Amino acid sequence: MKFKQVNQKLPVLIDLFSGGGGFAFGFRSAGFQVGGGIDIDPSATTTASYNLSWKFGEESCHYAQDITKIDSSFFQSVASNNSSNGFVVIGGPPCQAYSAIGRGKLKSLGADRSYLKDSRGRLYLDFLRIALELDARAVVMENVPESMNYGDQNIPEEVCEMLNDAGYIARWSILNAADFGVPQIRERMFVMAIKKTEGIEPKFPIPTHRSPDGRSGIYMQRINSLSANRYFVPPNEPAEDALPWITVKEALSDLPSLFPTVNSKYRLYEPNAMLHYPTDPQNAYQRLMRNWTGTGSNGVTGHGFRRTARDFPIFSRMKPDDNYINASEIAEELLKQQCDELGITEADHPERYQALRKKIVPPYNRDKFHDKWKRLNPDKPSHTLVAHLSVDTYSHIHPWEPRGISVREAARLQSFPDEYLFQCSMGDAFRQIGNAVPPLLAYAIADQLSALLIGKDLYSKGALYGS
């Protein structure tokens, strides 16, 4: 992939709810100049500032701000020297009030914390307020598909209706990141809107990759029912020469080993510690991750993982795609083995037995914790990464080492290039990665929008996956 120079013919990018900057990095890679961005999390805006501005010798344009307390004048001032072609506004308003995981967490906090009472569920209105105040030439909004069912509201339909009334042609669709070269099955809702005065119909990008065996995500199986919505457009069919989905093995196999066996010594590397690649890149995806902007890299940073010592022996026996049910059965086997070796029984040695159980067996309820653990399958794309990685990484257990994935491995599965630095706490880094729009998917959307706005043909797939 060739990292494009800023195209002065394109509108300036305004990045709302930026997180660590993945969405904007895809747009920057497609030639959009980043004029300003905000997120309420200072750690996230520091990550975005470094990777989108400082590393290019530019002043920071991402700031820790509460969107409900600012108006468009903030962005007009920070981007005043570069906005002669107007603005494009992008962002992913918080999804906790919409997503199944977020709703479950809110429910656990009590009836007064219902997802319908969560103020974050209304922040898309502030996103639209800023976009309309800026008279943006185009708007792109991302969120979870569950936003289609927020109480009695269909948020993407409502957003499109509001934009239509404000003078835009607006459409929404469901895109799967795996269809655009990201080694992860990740379905997300995207709204794209373009001012009617531009005379352009919004179009979503054509997938560059396809499932090798006909598998699809949950929402891709519901496309026919979604088509009843006024503003919905089905995703495009893959290109005729589309490549197969990128697998976990293809994404991670060239990274330094950290914990090859259960008896390995644990070591936590500092976020900026550089670990050299053990091999040359083995495929086009790895070459892209190592050399996205053309500067190249000798190794990776942020390659740290959590020390969950109790569970390393369990991880070592788990098979690809195993979940918590499998893990708890393995733990019971390990407990029995230890008890037999020590001559301990629950009846005769209750205190020693309970102490040993606590040391070996995870205490989680099998019925409620069924899908919280999962070992990655090296021969498939990863399942969806989420912000809960900031709490633990049991949902993404390494496919061939007995541990959770590292920060850099999570970044690879989201298509963040190896030069993208996360110089923050491990929890902050995992949250920023899990919340992000994968840069490769963002690039595909940005490349399509660029082509529409400047009237050029789309760049070929070869620009992404060169030989």
Find all residues with CB under 8 Å of 11, minimum gap 6, and list them: 32, 83, 85, 86, 87, 88, 136, 137, 138, 453
Determine the Cα–Cα distance for residues 333 and 314; give it in Å rounded to an integer: 10
Decide if 309 contacts 428 (C-beta within 8 A). Answer: no
Bridge partners, 192 (sequence order): 140, 171
Alpha helices in 264-406 (DSSP H): 284-290, 312-317, 324-342, 350-360
DSSP, collapsed to helix, strand or coil, labels residue 168 as strand
Contact 324, 331 (CB under 8 A): no
Catalytic residue, chosen from 95, 160, 339, 424, is: 95
Are 182 and 133 within 8 A, CB to CB? Answer: no
User: Is 95 a known active-site residue?
Assistant: yes
**Whether 17 contacts 94, CB under 8 Å:** yes
Q: Record the tokens describing residue 235, joined without a space.
A: 């995703």
> How much helix, strand and coil, in percent to the nearest 5, is found in the chain?
40, 15, 50
Rounded CA-CA distance 208/244 in Å is: 9
Contact criterion met (CB below 8 Å) for 251 and 412: yes
Number of H helices and number of E strands within the chain? Answer: 15, 11
The tally of CA atoms less than 13 A away on the side-chain side of residue 132 is 15
Q: DSSP character for 404?
A: B
- Rounded distance, CA 44 to CA 424, Å? 9
Tracing tokens 């009334």 back to the chain, one arrives at 165
Backbone torsions φ then ψ of 307, nearest 5 degrees: -90, 90
* 155 phi, psi to nearest 5 deg: -60, -45
* Residues belonging to the active site: 95
